[in-house]
Amino acid sequence: MPPSAPPTARLLIACPDARGIVATVAGFVAEHRGNLLESEQHTDTEHGEFFMRAEFEVAGCDLTRGNFADVWGPVAERLGMNWRVYWSEDVKRVAIMVSKAAHCLHDLIWRWEAGELNVEIAAVISNHDTLRRAAEHAGLPFHHCPIEPGRKTLQEQQVRAILNDARCDFVVLARYMQILSPEFLAGYEQRVINIHHSFLPAFAGGDPYRQAYDRGVKIIGATSHYVTEVLDAGPIIAQEVVDVSHRHTVADLRRKGRDLERMVLARAVRAHVEDRILASNGKTVVFS
């Protein structure tokens, strides 16, 4: 958050659709002398669900992190809401996990240094030592956690210990070319963001650019999604495509794809950091 920006609270809501929810939220904020800055909502008519993100200034407001649950709780319970609130002064701590490909890590570091991503990069973790210099040049702690044959469980335990010690709020897989176990993901639901070098659900799994080339597709894409136990099947946050033709080689597809991967991953990370994502029924609502 820029130093001049006033502190805010971000309230995220998911509940059964009903009349008057927007008015209820706006009235609640006004009643407690908050200044509503942004309000976005979406109704999923297929499932009868309502989603909302409301951001309001807390200066001059009598709502605090200490009393918010007690004051808002009865309203939320009456409307059957699942909700959570975030305070802008709490800068999220992220761990970036990488393998050998450098482009996504470099892009995230650049955006962080430029002030585009309001996060604290608490750790860079890799199963290879290749990108140590990139991380340390930016002043970031680098952890080399190699995977030895038959010892992947121990490696994941080592990584989890690093995440715990660094007090990481979420994890970004910036082309970390390993499948994470259900045991590793436990407790990190909707807090691990991956970039897949394909327009999912097409060409899941390994070497999607080769798969795309072999099928002669006319567009390729990149997909950022939350990681679940099912490979490349988590709720999608952001996607982008670019045109290709019969003239492009596999190397051309990979080159074009790297540009998409950087952009799509950054978009997804920013949406997560700004608390703009709600997930339900295997999909996401991403507010602008």
Contacts with 275 (C-beta within 8 Å, 6 or more apart), sequence order: 10, 12, 53, 86
Q: How far apart, in Å, are the Cα atoms of 145 and each of 74, 142, 159, 160?
A: 46, 10, 7, 11
Q: How far apart, in Å, are the Cα atoms of 6 and each of 56, 60, 86?
A: 10, 11, 14
CB atoms within 10 A of CB 148: 8
Q: Which two tokens stand for residue 178?
A: 């390993």
Report strand pairing: 82-87 vs 49-57: unpaired
Q: Which two tokens stand for residue 79?
A: 């409307």
Catalytic residue, chosen from 232, 243, 252, 275, is 232
Q: For this structure, is 169 an active site residue?
A: no
Order of all β-strands in the sheet with 236-243: 142-144, 119-126, 92-98, 170-173, 192-196, 219-226, 236-243
- In the chain, the N- to C-terminal Cα span, in Å, equals 17
Please check whether residue 43 is in contact with residue 119, taking contact to mean a CB–CB distance below 8 angstroms.
no
Report strand pairing: 192-196 vs 170-173: parallel
Packed helices 103-113 and 250-273: angle between N→C axes, nearest 10 degrees? 40
Residues that are catalytic: 232
